[in-house]
């Protein structure tokens, strides 16, 4: 387990050493990404000012129409890893990168709610990524996956999946105008997840993009989109700046 996380940390150290944007420019998808990315300062100013002005307010969440849908899965028959999920409803507005704990096999509610929140805050699309790429209906299943198996072949699959996940996050950072962190408070009780969270947070911070959240728990963790009770997230929720602890 320790060896696995040390290797993952070295991977992130390499990313930071060469610089996130240098890495992004070296990828094949960069010409498309560069063409689609707006000026970041202008996009951030748009979110903070123009998205809150009534004359140019985005369509109400109930009326928004998703115009583009895509996702990147692993190539195995079971598609056990999902690296990105993209939804676009207005190509003229900036894109939002959303970082959750891990993709769920039944996360339509998360997709719809986060899209509504992103639209309300002035964005025209979103890309959802996870701290880990493994599909799981609950955090316990994801935690079980995170523990490296003793079988060498399966262990290699795990390492490759985490490397790909890191590279996809780095690539999407090059296209986004801001990052919404939304992995929830359970991560504070799962040390294995917390290791991934801290490593990924370093990558997000190095990008220079605004880090936003939907609110925080008592422990300072960003709220999960499907929080309950006083942590319930509404489609009209305003995003706020998030400062890593």
- Residues 38-48: tens digit of each pLDDT: 444 444 444 44
CA distance 238 to 120: 8
**Exposure b/e, 123-160, CB count within 10 A at least 16 = b:** bbbbbbbbbbbbbbeebeebbebbebeeeeeeeebbbe
pLDDT at residue number 213: 95
- Confidence class for position 21, pLDDT limits 50, 70, 90: very low
CA neighbours closer than 13 Å in the CB half-sphere of residue 89: 23
The answer to whether residues 96 and 118 touch, using CB atoms and an 8 Å cutoff, is yes
Top-confidence residue, 149 or 116: 116
pLDDT at residue number 63: 64
pLDDT at residue number 140: 72
Top-confidence residue, 1 or 94: 94
pLDDT at residue number 195: 77
Top-confidence residue, 171 or 185: 171
pLDDT at residue number 189: 67
pLDDT > 70 in the chain, percent? 69
What number is the average pLDDT over the span 12-34?
A: 44
* Averaged confidence pLDDT in the chain: 76
What number is the average pLDDT over the span 138-161?
A: 78
Angle made by CA atoms 102, 105, 107, in degrees to the nearest 5:
75
**Burial level of 6, CB count in 10 A (0-12/13-18/19+)?**
exposed
pLDDT at residue number 125: 96
**Tokens encoding 167:** 């590279």
pLDDT in tens, 184-238: 877 666 677 777 888 899 999 999 999 999 998 887 889 988 777 677 888 899 9
pLDDT at residue number 94: 97
The answer to whether residues 131 and 179 touch, using CB atoms and an 8 Å cutoff, is no
Q: Can you list the positions of beta strands (E) in 80-201?
A: 82-88, 95-100, 125-130, 178-181
The answer to whether residues 15 and 23 touch, using CB atoms and an 8 Å cutoff, is yes
CA distance 132 to 143: 10
- Confidence class for position 165, pLDDT limits 50, 70, 90: very high
CA distance 122 to 59: 9
């Amino acid at each position: 387990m320790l060896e696995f996380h040390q290797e993952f940390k070295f991977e992130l150290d390499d990313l930071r050493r060469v610089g996130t944007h240098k890495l992004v420019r070296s990828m094949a998808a960069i010409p498309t990404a560069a063409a689609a990315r707006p000026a970041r300062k202008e996009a951030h100013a748009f979110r903070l000012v123009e998205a809150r002005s009534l004359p140019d307010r985005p369509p109400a969440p109930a009326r928004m129409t998703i115009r583009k849908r895509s996702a990147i899965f692993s190539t195995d028959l079971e598609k056990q890893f999902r690296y990105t999920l993209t939804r676009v409803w207005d190509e003229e507005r900036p894109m939002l990168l959303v970082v959750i704990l891990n993709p769920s096999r039944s996360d339509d509610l998360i997709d719809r709610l986060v899209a509504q929140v992103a639209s309300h805050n002035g964005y025209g699309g979103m890309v959802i990524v996870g701290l880990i790429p493994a599909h799981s209906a609950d955090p316990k299943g994801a935690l079980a996956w995170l523990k490296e198996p003793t079988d060498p072949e399966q262990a290699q699959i795990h390492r490759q999946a985490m490397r790909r996940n890191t590279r996809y996050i780095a690539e999407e950072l090059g296209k986004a105008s801001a990052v919404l962190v939304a992995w929830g408070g359970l991560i504070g009780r799962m040390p294995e997840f917390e290791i991934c969270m801290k490593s990924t947070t370093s990558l997000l911070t190095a990008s220079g993009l605004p880090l936003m959240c939907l609110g925080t728990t008592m422990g300072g963790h960003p709220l999960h989109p499907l929080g309950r009770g006083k942590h319930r997230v509404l489609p009209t929720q305003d995003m706020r700046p998030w400062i890593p602890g």
